[in-house]
């Protein structure tokens, strides 16, 4: 991805991508106005929401005067005419949703140009009251992001595996650490790709399809002939090698360089005596251009490229671009597409767990988010990371690849890391044609090489890409760690021990462990009532496995409780291609500890709700409290869940613990933990912790020692502004602990 470069977004007439162009209705007559919808009434009712949204949009890049609208399915041309007329809008485009996406996408999609006097914020707010609308979004600007562009051309070299390609083979050149690469040369002993294999789409700035290292690996549209006609009837003339969403043409030539560089890493032709080599010596690269020569483009055009690549059968997509605004319609399009999407994590140095970047942060099963590492096994200084949101790292610093015009250049960024993973995903899909998205993703994530802990702990897998491990033909699962048992137990922690097995049964070193725990029995597959599926239990991170027969140990920290509890720990051994051992489960009885206050929240107790706060069922937790039990929280929410008085008299070093899960609009809405007590000269409510963004269940720990010796109250407060609603907050298991004075 390239650092954001502001661009004035272009406008274009309606177009189609995947299927035949949908006609734009003629200007409507007055009789087409809907009798069930009044824009005037909707604007009046949503004025406060629109004002709030306008403030946010003023800080966000988007196309002025345009909205994307997802409508209820089944709209006719006349229905669309009526809908557009109700807003005084012009229909710029009706998207044709390809057949493979229809059911999952679940609606019609249009792009509207709003009339003078109706702002984007006003339209989106008003559409929230329109029963025909499922979702409305601004047409956001997206960017490719390169951290360190090197624009001077390098000479064409005769050796395909040039020493500059350290990401493929690192022997210590340029001061790097030997072996810190993606093991491409080993992987090529298994596969070098296929020109009859899966189609990989580069959704980017286009691709130089005439480049000497790419021209033989470019996809050719089997339904199109370069004769100036739309032979395949999809509304695009001469889309021989892909689609150009910037000008709605069939020529996706790269006028920036970013997309060609990405394509070179994925599939520069191998063993041709020219320039460089990509992960795939042979491939079918489809070019889908929505980023202009400046490296910027619109969400409307990005969606069109997703639809086009789906209609034309892309199996894998490369997405080295991003924006920092959540766009539900783009998320829906990517989620409905059958392809596996490889996404750059971003170049701002963010923790994506806290400050998300999209599309990498969409919680979709068909997305892999990729950070960048250098040739010394370090996360790049610019790379975004996230213990719960970024899957793995790949080479992304000083990456040498193709440049338009038959040249080559060196670039850095997570944009350069993502295509390494895309290349490996394409090799897997080529070698194992029946592999599902889950199969490919599991191979890639299970086969990582561990990074040093200071970097690995910032990634879901803890590691970096290994093409050879991901590609290996291995159907033998590891043996189960059948002797898993507790070795030491206290109220706050449990020590577990077991004997390491192997990669294939008990032979060879396994590649990883999956250890989870719960207060409910953990099972593989669908759980019965009172049980919990393995994938829904809490995760415990572990080091890499030791040699077979070695003794493994781990200490698990537990949240405090004054109750005697039974915990279930479940362990699976994983090999490098994602084969998993049978599940081993052990039960551990954990003794209670002294606590000041405890509410398990499994029934109404010492917490008083206001507003919509209510108890709801939660898998593996019985009941939990949430601020929005019926769906997303409302605009202008300010509601609390408040305890009765809790005495901290006679206690010191007090601490509060509570389990929290949240989906809250970052930087605008917030869930706070507040304490009512005395500090300095005043007694009042004060915030002691605040969360927003998206996070699964975790135990939040708060220091209450400033309130030692007092009588206090605790409340959980959900507060939102007047626009953009999310799922809200969930809380469970409130405990306060301390040490007795004296």
317/368 Cα distance (integer angstroms): 11
Last residue of a domain, one of 435, 452, 473: 473
Which candidate, 646, 712, 644, 645, places its Cα nearest to that of 679? 712
Express as a percent the part of the chain with pLDDT over 70: 93
Q: Which two tokens stand for residue 95?
A: 């998207």
Helices then strands, counting H and E runs in the chain, come out as: 13, 39
User: Residue 196 CB: number of other CB atoms within 10 A?
Assistant: 8
Q: Is the domain of 453 the same as that of 563?
A: no
Rounded to whole angstroms, what are the CA distances from 71 to 80, 164, 519? 9, 50, 43
SS3 state of residue 328: helix
**Residues whose CB is less than 8 angstroms from the CB of residue 357 and which lie 6 or more positions away in sequence, other chains included:** 322, 323, 324, 345, 346, 348, 350, 384
Q: CB of 236 within 8 A of CB of 17?
A: yes
600/563 Cα distance (integer angstroms): 10
Q: Is the domain of 646 the same as that of 564?
A: no
**Residues whose CB is less than 8 angstroms from the CB of residue 53 and which lie 6 or more positions away in sequence, other chains included:** 121, 124, 125, 722, 723, 724
Q: What is the mean pLDDT of residues 229-236?
A: 96
Q: What percent helix, strand, coil does the chain show, rounded to 5?
A: 20, 35, 50
Which active-site residues does the annotation give? 204, 258, 415
Q: CB of 377 within 8 A of CB of 180?
A: yes
Q: CB of 614 within 8 A of CB of 625?
A: yes
pLDDT of amino acid 35: 57
154/549 Cα distance (integer angstroms): 52
* First-last CA distance in the chain: 59
Q: Is the domain of 586 the same as that of 675?
A: no
Which pTM was predicted?
0.90
Q: Quick one: which H or E segment has residue 139?
A: strand 133-144
Judge whether residue 159 has pLDDT over 90.
no
Residue 332 burial class via C-beta count within 10 angstroms: exposed 0-12, middle 13-18, buried 19 and up: buried
337/733 Cα distance (integer angstroms): 39
Instruction: Please tell me the least confidently modeled range out of 155-164, 255-264, 725-734.
Output: 155-164
Judge whether residue 29 has pLDDT over 90.
no
484/479 Cα distance (integer angstroms): 13
Which candidate, 375, 544, 370, places its Cα nearest to that of 459? 370
Q: Which two tokens stand for residue 551?
A: 């003794």
* CATH code for the domain of 243: 3.40.50.200
Judge whether residue 28 has pLDDT over 80.
no
Q: Is the domain of 77 the same as that of 220?
A: yes
pLDDT of amino acid 147: 65
The residues facing 374 across adjacent strands are none
Rounded to whole angstroms, what are the CA distances from 260 to 55, 116, 359? 38, 40, 21
Q: Is the domain of 608 the same as that of 503?
A: no
pLDDT of amino acid 278: 97
Residue 556 burial class via C-beta count within 10 angstroms: exposed 0-12, middle 13-18, buried 19 and up: middle
Look at residue 478 and tell me if it is in a domain: no
SS3 state of residue 534: helix
The residues facing 372 across adjacent strands are 394
Judge whether residue 226 has pLDDT over 90.
yes
Burial call 509-529: b when 16+ CB within 10 Å, e when fewer: bbbbbbbbbbbbebbeeebee
**Long-range CB contacts (within 8 A, 24+) of 239-243:** 241/207, 241/209, 241/286, 241/287, 242/201, 242/206, 242/207, 242/209, 242/286, 242/287, 242/288, 242/289, 242/308, 243/17, 243/287, 243/288, 243/289, 243/304, 243/305, 243/308, 243/309
Place of tokens 């725990």: 517
Look at residue 634 and tell me if it is in a domain: yes
Rounded to whole angstroms, what are the CA distances from 737 to 158, 560, 594? 69, 8, 7
Q: Is the domain of 438 the same as that of 496?
A: no
Q: Is the domain of 371 the same as that of 467?
A: yes
Judge whether residue 160 has pLDDT over 70.
no
User: Residue 638 CB: number of other CB atoms within 10 A?
Assistant: 10
Judge whether residue 566 has pLDDT over 90.
yes
Look at residue 339 and tell me if it is in a domain: yes
Gyration radius of the chain's alpha carbons: 28
pLDDT of amino acid 586: 98
For residue 389, the 8-state DSSP code is T
The residues facing 568 across adjacent strands are 518, 587
Q: Is the domain of 204 the same as that of 256?
A: yes
Q: CB of 378 within 8 A of CB of 370?
A: no
208/229 Cα distance (integer angstroms): 22
pLDDT, tens only, 497-528: 999 999 999 999 999 999 999 999 999 999 99
Place of tokens 């990074």: 451
Q: CB of 736 within 8 A of CB of 624?
A: no
Q: Is the domain of 614 the same as that of 694?
A: yes
Q: What is the mean pLDDT of residues 171-200?
A: 96
pLDDT of amino acid 728: 95
Q: Is the domain of 154 the same as that of 299?
A: yes
pLDDT of amino acid 274: 82
Rounded to whole angstroms, what are the CA distances from 44 to 56, 124, 126, 129, 637? 20, 13, 9, 11, 20
For residue 31, the 8-state DSSP code is G
338/219 Cα distance (integer angstroms): 19
Q: Is the domain of 11 the same as that of 113?
A: yes
Judge whether residue 341 has pLDDT over 90.
yes
pLDDT of amino acid 605: 81
Which candidate, 365, 424, 364, places its Cα nearest to that of 393? 424
pLDDT, tens only, 325-339: 999 999 999 999 999
Look at residue 480 and tell me if it is in a domain: no
Q: Is 552 left (phi over 0), alpha (psi -120 to 50) or beta?
A: beta
pLDDT, tens only, 98-108: 999 999 999 99
Judge whether residue 4 has pLDDT over 90.
no
Look at residue 369 and tell me if it is in a domain: yes
Last residue of a domain, one of 590, 613, 633: 590
Look at residue 479 and tell me if it is in a domain: no
Express as a percent the part of the chain with pLDDT over 90: 88
Query: Which domain does 244 fall in, by range?
Result: 1-473
Look at residue 659 and tell me if it is in a domain: yes
Last residue of a domain, one of 417, 445, 473: 473
Q: What is the mean pLDDT of residues 236-262?
A: 98
pLDDT, tens only, 349-394: 999 998 999 999 999 999 999 999 999 999 999 999 999 999 999 9
pLDDT of amino acid 150: 46
Q: Is the domain of 361 the same as that of 454?
A: yes
Judge whether residue 31 has pLDDT over 90.
no
* CATH code for the domain of 669: 2.60.120.200
To 5 degrees, how large is the angle CA 426–CA 298–CA 324? 80
Q: Prior bond to 405 cis, omega within 30?
A: no
Look at residue 36 and tell me if it is in a domain: yes
Q: CB of 664 within 8 A of CB of 327?
A: no
Judge whether residue 717 has pLDDT over 70.
yes
Q: CB of 347 within 8 A of CB of 384?
A: yes
Q: Quick one: which H or E segment has residue 441?
A: helix 437-446
Judge whether residue 79 has pLDDT over 90.
yes
Beta strands in 412-502 (DSSP E): 449-450, 463-464, 485-490, 493-499
pLDDT of amino acid 506: 94
When the pLDDT of each residue in the chain is averaged and rounded to a whole number, the result is 92
Q: Quick one: which H or E segment has residue 539?
A: strand 538-540
The total domain count for the chain is: 3
pLDDT, tens only, 270-312: 988 889 999 999 999 999 999 999 999 999 999 999 999 999 9
* CATH code for the domain of 533: 2.60.40.2550
Which candidate, 513, 490, 467, places its Cα nearest to that of 560? 490
β 512-518/538-540 pair status: antiparallel
């Amino acid at each position: 991805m390239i650092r954001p470069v502001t661009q004035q977004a272009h406008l274009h007439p309606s177009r189609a991508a995947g299927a035949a162009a949908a006609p734009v209705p003629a200007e409507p007559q007055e009789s087409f106005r809907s009798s069930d919808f009044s824009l005037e009434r909707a604007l009046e009712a949503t004025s406060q929401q629109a004002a709030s949204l306008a403030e946010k949009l003023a800080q966000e890049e988007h196309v002025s005067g345009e909205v994307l609208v997802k409508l209820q399915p089944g709209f006719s041309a006349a229905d669309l005419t009526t809908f557009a007329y109700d807003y005084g809008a012009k229909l710029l485009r009706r998207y044709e949703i390809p057949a493979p996406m229809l059911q999952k996408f679940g609606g019609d999609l249009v792009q509207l140009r709003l009339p003078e006097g109706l702002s984007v914020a006003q339209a989106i707010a008003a559409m929230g009251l329109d029963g025909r609308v499922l979702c409305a979004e601004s047409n956001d600007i997206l960017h490719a992001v390169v951290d360190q562009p090197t624009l001077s051309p390098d000479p064409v070299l005769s050796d395909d595996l040039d020493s500059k390609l350290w990401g493929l083979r690192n022997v210590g050149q340029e001061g790097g650490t030997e072996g810190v690469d993606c093991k491409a040369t080993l992987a090529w002993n298994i596969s070098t790709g296929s020109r009859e294999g899966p189609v990989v789409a580069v959704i980017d700035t286009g691709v130089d399809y005439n480049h000497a290292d790419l021209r033989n690996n470019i996809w050719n549209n089997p339904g199109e002939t370069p004769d100036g006609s739309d032979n395949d009837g999809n509304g695009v003339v001469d889309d021989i090698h892909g689609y150009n969403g910037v000008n709605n043409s069939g020529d996706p030539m790269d006028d920036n360089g970013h997309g060609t560089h990405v394509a070179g890493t994925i599939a520069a032709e191998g063993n041709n005596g020219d320039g460089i080599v990509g992960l795939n010596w042979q491939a079918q690269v489809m070019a889908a251009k929505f980023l202009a020569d400046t490296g910027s483009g619109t969400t409307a055009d990005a969606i069109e490229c997703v639809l086009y690549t789906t209609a034309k059968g892309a199996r894998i997509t490369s997405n080295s671009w991003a924006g920092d605004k959540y766009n539900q319609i783009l998320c829906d399009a990517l989620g409905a597409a059958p392809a596996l999407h490889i996404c750059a994590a971003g170049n701002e140095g963010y923790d994506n767990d806290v400050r998300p970047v999209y599309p990498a942060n969409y919680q979709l099963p068909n997305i892999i988010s990729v950070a960048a590492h250098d040739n010394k096994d370090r996360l790049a200084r610019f790379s975004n990371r996230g213990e719960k949101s970024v899957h793995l790292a790949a080479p992304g610093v000083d990456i040498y690849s193709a440049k338009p015009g038959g040249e080559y250049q060196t670039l850095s960024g997570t944009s350069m890391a993502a295509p390494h993973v895309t290349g490996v995903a394409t090799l897997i899909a080529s070698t194992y044609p029946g592999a599902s998205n889950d199969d490919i993703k599991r191979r890639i994530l299970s086969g990582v090489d561990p990074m040093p802990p200071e970097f690995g702990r910032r990634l879901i897998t803890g590691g970096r890409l290994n093409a050879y491990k991901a590609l290996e033909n291995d159907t033998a699962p590891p043996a189960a760690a059948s002797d898993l048992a507790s070795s030491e137990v206290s109220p706050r922690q449990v020590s577990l021990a077991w004997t390491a097995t192997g990669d294939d049964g008990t032979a060879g070193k396994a590649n990883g462990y999956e250890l989870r725990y719960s207060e409910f029995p953990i099972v593989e597959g669908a759980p019965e009532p009172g049980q919990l599926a393995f994938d829904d239990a809490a995760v415990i991170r572990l080091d890499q496995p030791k040699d077979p027969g070695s003794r493994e140990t781990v200490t698990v920290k537990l949240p405090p409780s004054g109750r005697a509890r039974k915990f279930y720990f479940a362990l699976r051994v994983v090999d490098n291609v994602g084969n998993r051992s049978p599940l081993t489960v052990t039960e551990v009885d954990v003794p209670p500890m002294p606590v000041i206050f405890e509410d398990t929240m499994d029934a109404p107790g010492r917490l008083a709700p206001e507003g919509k706060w209510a108890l709801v069922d939660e898998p593996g937790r019985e009941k939990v409290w949430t601020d929005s039990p019926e769906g997303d929280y409302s605009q202008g929410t300010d509601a609390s869940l408040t305890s009765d008085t809790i005495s901290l008299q006679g206690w010191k070093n007090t601490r509060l613990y509570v389990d929290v899960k949240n989906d809250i609009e970052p930087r605008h809405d917030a869930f706070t933990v507040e304490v009512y007590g005395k500090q300095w000269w005043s007694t009042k409510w004060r915030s002691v912790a605040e969360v927003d963004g998206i996070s699964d269940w975790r135990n939040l720990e708060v220091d209450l020692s400033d309130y030692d010796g007092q009588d206090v109250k605790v409340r959980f407060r959900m507060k939102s502004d007047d626009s953009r609603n999310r799922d809200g907050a969930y809380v469970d298991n409130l405990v306060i602990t301390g040490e007795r004075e004296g």
